[in-house]
A = this chain, B = another copy of it.
Amino acid sequence: MRSDAARNLELVLRTGARLLAEDPSASIAAIASAASVDRRTVYRRFTSREELLAAVHRARYEAVEQAIDAARLQEAPVAVALHLYVEGIIAVNRAWPVVMRDVRADPTVAEHRNRLVKEVDAFLVRAVDEGLFRPDLPLGWINAVLPSLMLDAAEGVPDLTPARAADLVVETLLRGVGMSHPNAA
């Protein structure tokens, strides 16, 4: 592939992620226009709209995979792994702000996603076993709350660096935002 083509491809993917996050039904024309590229250029690279969507999701999940690998979810101490994971995902959420909703679209993407979800699930179980999380809560609860918090940190407090935002997420997750706990006062 020629270098300018590669640049355009990257640009289309990133612009697509951004626009689709704001409006999941953004048209190819709108994406192309926002990327300062002709609509036809997009259609030359991706045969169909679905293909572009799949490519954007793929880009995102590759970034997620890198973050997961870097967090060493199975080997590192749980507290460390948790922080690394959260920080990585916050960065990914900012770089690839794709909506999580219609993930079931492409089968390859779904499979990729399921593999990563399984890894995180295993980590959460380990975190409970090793006493980081309370075991008396519905298992699905932490699983639901953690991604929400990471999304809030990515979008809700954009001034914070990923590292500081991760501090906030982990602290909120583990101890909450209430006043009365040992480390307060």
Contact = CB atoms under 8 A, between A and B. Distances in A.
Interface residues of A, number: 38
A171 B175 CA distance: 10
20 contacts: A23-B102, A132-B178, A134-B177, A134-B178, A137-B177, A138-B160, A141-B156, A141-B172, A144-B155, A144-B156, A145-B149, A145-B152, A145-B172, A148-B148, A148-B152, A171-B176, A172-B176, A173-B176, A174-B178, A175-B181
Nearest to A160: B138
Interface of A: 23-25, 102, 131-134, 137-138, 140-145, 148-149, 151-152, 155-157, 160, 168, 171-182, 184
Contacts of A179: 131-134
